[in-house]
């Protein structure tokens, strides 16, 4: 099997009630998604169980937007890997920039979460990316390679290979303005090279990926798929992005 089989993952963030989430999954299931492309959706925690039910019998995978590093304990408001596994979650987004900035998630905590996810058989999608200021100061590469090495510190190369990294320039997220495909690819080549095991791992691009720019982004040698925010809230646009990965699946 192609180790770098394309992956298109939708991060619904704090959108969709249970009823809306059910409707969105039904609309997605009504589409013919391309074979050879892995597709995942990350609803809010409240809708995970309902979405798991709606996905029953489909090849669309269930993803969580974050998790706690411990299995259980006095951590009010948190959700653990075993709890996610129980719901059929197979991917978890770790280190999204909104959580790094808004929930004080640091590199060390993200590393512990990566290890916990792997222990419980959940594939981490580790998000890394530079801010607008770091980008302007030419600091994108040191920033993302540092975040990547920190996330996988102490993780065996064979396990790193099974993980996913999402390069998400923070300034591109939700801005409507994606990075230039060649520029994103250059950064992603450095991410791939900075940690043993990532050579064969999937690296996604995230940051205003839409149906009209996905094909160019997905044509780049290091872009194995996308982590999609806004455009994943419409089945039509999310499906169109997945369709753009079809060509990649054939290579
Ligand atoms: C994201 O938040 O992971 C993201 C990529 O958002 P958007 O597609 O809306 O830029």
**Nearest residue CA, atom 3 of ligand 1?**
229
Please determine, for residue 80, whether its predicted confidence score (pLDDT) is greater than 80.
Answer: yes
CATH of the domain at 150: 3.20.20.70
**Number of compact structural domains in the chain:** 1
> For the residues 175-203, what does the mean pLDDT come to?
97
Domain assignment present for 218: yes
Residues with a known catalytic role: 96, 168
Atom of ligand 1 nearest to the CA of 98: 2
- Distance in Å, CA 90 to ligand 1 centroid: 20
**Nearest residue CA, atom 6 of ligand 1?**
229
Please determine, for residue 223, whether its predicted confidence score (pLDDT) is greater than 70.
Answer: yes
Atom of ligand 1 nearest to the CA of 226: 5
Domain assignment present for 184: yes
Domain assignment present for 27: yes
Domain assignment present for 17: yes
- Distance in Å, CA 108 to ligand 1 centroid: 23
- Which pLDDT score, from 0 to 100, does residue 1 have? 54
- Which pLDDT score, from 0 to 100, does residue 124 have? 98
Protein residues whose CB sits closer than 6 Å to any atom of ligand 1: 11, 168, 173-174, 206-209, 227-231
Mean confidence (pLDDT) of the chain = 96
Please determine, for residue 249, whether its predicted confidence score (pLDDT) is greater than 80.
Answer: no
Domain assignment present for 97: yes
Domain assignment present for 12: yes
User: In which domain, by residue range, is 91 found?
Assistant: 7-250
Domain assignment present for 2: no
- Which pLDDT score, from 0 to 100, does residue 3 have? 84
Please determine, for residue 132, whether its predicted confidence score (pLDDT) is greater than 90.
Answer: yes
**Which range, of 1-5, 65-69, 122-126, averages the lowest pLDDT?**
1-5
pLDDT-derived band at 8 (thresholds 50, 70, 90) equals: very high
Residues ≥6 apart with Cβ < 8 Å to 61: 38, 39, 40, 41, 55, 90, 91
Domain assignment present for 195: yes
pTM of the complete model: 0.97
- Distance in Å, CA 194 to ligand 1 centroid: 24
In tens, the pLDDT along 14-34 reads 999 999 999 999 999 999 999
């Amino acid at each position: 099997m192609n180790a770098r089989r394309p992956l298109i993952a939708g991060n619904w963030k704090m959108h969709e009630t249970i009823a809306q989430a059910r409707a969105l999954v039904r609309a997605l299931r009504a589409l013919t998604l391309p074979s050879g492309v892995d597709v995942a959706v990350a609803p809010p925690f409240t809708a995970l169980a309902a979405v798991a039910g709606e996905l029953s019998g489909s090849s669309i995978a269930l993803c969580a937007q974050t998790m706690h590093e411990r299995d259980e304990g006095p951590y009010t408001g948190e959700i653990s890997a075993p709890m996610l596994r129980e719901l059929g979650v197979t991917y978890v987004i770790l280190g999204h920039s909104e959580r790094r900035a808004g929930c004080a998630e640091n590199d060390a905590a993200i590393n512990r979460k990566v290890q916990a996810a792997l222990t419980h058989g959940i594939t981490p999608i580790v998000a890394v990316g530079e801010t607008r200021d770091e980008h302007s100061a030419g600091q994108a590469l040191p920033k993302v390679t540092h975040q990547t090495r920190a996330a996988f510190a102490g993780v065996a190369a064979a396990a790193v290979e099974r993980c996913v990294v999402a390069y998400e320039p923070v300034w591109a997220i939700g801005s409507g303005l994606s990075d230039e495909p060649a520029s994103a690819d250059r950064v992603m080549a450095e991410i791939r090279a900075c940690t043993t095991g990532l050579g064969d791992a999937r690296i996604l691009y995230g940051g205003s990926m839409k149906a009209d720019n996905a094909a160019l982004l997905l044509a780049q040698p290091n872009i194995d798929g996308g982590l999609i925010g806004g455009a994943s809230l419409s089945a039509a646009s999310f499906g169109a992005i997945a369709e753009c990965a079809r060509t990649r699946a054939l290579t």
